Amino acid sequence: MKITSDVQNFSVRSSLPVRASAERVEGAETQNPVSFSPESLSISEEIVDAKALHAKIYGTPALADRISYSFFKLGYEGFLQKAPPETYTADEAERFNKVVSYLANLLERRELEVDPSNNPFWGMGRDALVAIEQDEKNYTEEERCAALRAKAHLDNDYFTRLIEHAVSSGDDRPLFKGYLEYLDHLTPAERLNYPANEREKVASQLATAEAEKGSLPEDFSLWKYINWDPKGRLNLEALLDPSSAEPTPVIEAGSADDQGSSRLR
pLDDT tens-digit series, residues 125-158: 999 999 999 999 999 999 999 999 999 999 998 9
Domain assignment present for 55: yes
Domain assignment present for 144: yes
Q: Which domain holds residue 188?
A: 43-232
What span, in angstroms and rounded, lies between the C-alpha atoms of 75 and 78?
5
What span, in angstroms and rounded, lies between the C-alpha atoms of 233 and 102?
28
Domain assignment present for 24: no
Domain assignment present for 239: no
Domain assignment present for 7: no
Domain assignment present for 78: yes
DSSP 198: H
For residues 226 and 154, is the Cβ–Cβ distance under 8 A?
Answer: yes
Count of domains forming the chain: 1
Read off the pTM.
0.73
What span, in angstroms and rounded, lies between the C-alpha atoms of 63 and 136?
11
For residues 121 and 132, is the Cβ–Cβ distance under 8 A?
Answer: yes
Q: Given CA atoms 260, 263, 264, 265 in this order, what sign does their dihedral have?
A: negative
| From 17-21, 63-67, 77-81, 244-248, the region with the lowest mean pLDDT | 17-21
Q: Is 90 helix (H, G, I), strand (E, B) or coil?
A: helix
Quickly count: other Cβ atoms within 10 Å of residue 95's Cβ: 19
More confident residue, 69 or 24: 69
Phi, psi (deg, nearest 5) at residue 124: -85, 155
Domain assignment present for 155: yes
46: pLDDT confidence band, cut at 50, 70 and 90? Answer: confident
Domain assignment present for 163: yes
